[in-house]
Amino acid sequence: MLGPASRERVPTHIVRKRMTEPVDKATPDDVVAIGPRSGLQYVRMTVAMAPALEALELASFPTADPSELYNAEELEHLARDFPQGSVVGFDGDARELPVAAGLGVRTDFDFDNPQHNVKTFFDDAPTESGDDPDGGWYYGTDIVVRPEYRRRGIGRELYDMRKAIVGELGLRGIIAGGVIPGFADHKHEMTADEYIIAVRAGDLYDPTLTFQLENGFEAPCALENYMADPAVDSWASLIIWRDPNHPENT
């Protein structure tokens, strides 16, 4: 079973080339990127990080059902099955506490039947983590940022690294179920699909979906019962980013 949002490790040369200048010689060798805005050190997720990342999940999604978030065992599977799909951000060399992570797996997706929920979508995957090595898309299962570190450009850095992974692995793009926290204030006056349309049009602002749209994502429809979250009646938005350099997208 998977958690709710995105996992990934990034090939070193792709991240350095697209995100920042070459890492200084004093920087630990396992650092794959230095956030150009945040200054965070991004490293590949390892099995040893699993307990701390479980705590990060709980801190980042306080209204979600904990059973639908990643737990340490699931994170260990992910680190073993698809390490090139997940990065973890630390503030400083001590690495006492992860402050951000971008996680994901490879998959295929039926765009004619987009409705799904994160708890069962990967049940038929060939690995415990849900990763399908033959999948043509990157499915973002989590992007998590500790609340006190938000508004520092970390989300954009994680999306940039994700896009770099897609290009390096020759995938068609990114798919995810995106949370729509702003819907909590409008759920009694409109449907989730109406809310998404209003955000797409710029008539409403959503702290997550608006950011994703600004980063080149499409938001074609709402996802019902995507992940248990009473604040938004468990609704989410399907989000899609198509790599413009992939031959099947041109």
Altogether, the residues listed in the chain come to a count of 250
What is residue 63's predicted lDDT score, i.e. its pLDDT? 74
> What is the tens place of the pLDDT at every residue in 203-221?
999 999 999 999 999 999 9
Mean pLDDT of 48-55: 95
> What is the tens place of the pLDDT at every residue in 65-106?
788 789 999 999 999 999 989 999 999 888 888 999 999 999
Structure tokens at 204: 């409403």
Report the SS3 class of residue 173.
strand
The count of other CB atoms within 10 Å of the CB of residue 156 is 16
Q: What is the CA radius of gyration of the chain?
A: 17
Q: In whole angstroms, how far apart are CA 8 and each of 60, 166, 191, 244?
A: 17, 10, 32, 20
- The pTM of the full predicted model, rounded to 2 decimals, is 0.84
Report the SS3 class of residue 249.
helix
Give the pLDDT band (50/70/90) at residue 187.
very high
Distance CA 16, CA 105 (A): 22
What is residue 28's predicted lDDT score, i.e. its pLDDT? 60
CATH topology of domain 12-249: Aminopeptidase (3.40.630)
Mean pLDDT of 165-187: 95
Give the pLDDT band (50/70/90) at residue 31.
confident
Report the SS3 class of residue 203.
coil
- Percent of the chain topping pLDDT 70: 88
Please count the CA atoms within 13 angstroms of the CA of 90 that sit on its side-chain side: 18
What is residue 67's predicted lDDT score, i.e. its pLDDT? 82
What is residue 62's predicted lDDT score, i.e. its pLDDT? 81
Please count the CA atoms within 13 angstroms of the CA of 134 that sit on its side-chain side: 2
Please give the torsion angle defined by the CA atoms of residues 209, 213, 216 and 218, in that order, rounded to the nearest 10 degrees. 80
What is residue 202's predicted lDDT score, i.e. its pLDDT? 97
Nearest Cα neighbor of 208 from 188, 189, 235 is 235
Mean pLDDT of 2-25: 35
Give the pLDDT band (50/70/90) at residue 7.
very low
What is residue 222's predicted lDDT score, i.e. its pLDDT? 98
> What is the tens place of the pLDDT at every residue in 93-142?
888 889 999 999 999 999 999 999 988 999 999 999 999 999 999 999 98
* Domain extent listing, the chain: 12-249
What is residue 11's predicted lDDT score, i.e. its pLDDT? 32
pLDDT exceeds cutoff 70 at 24: no
pLDDT exceeds cutoff 50 at 228: yes
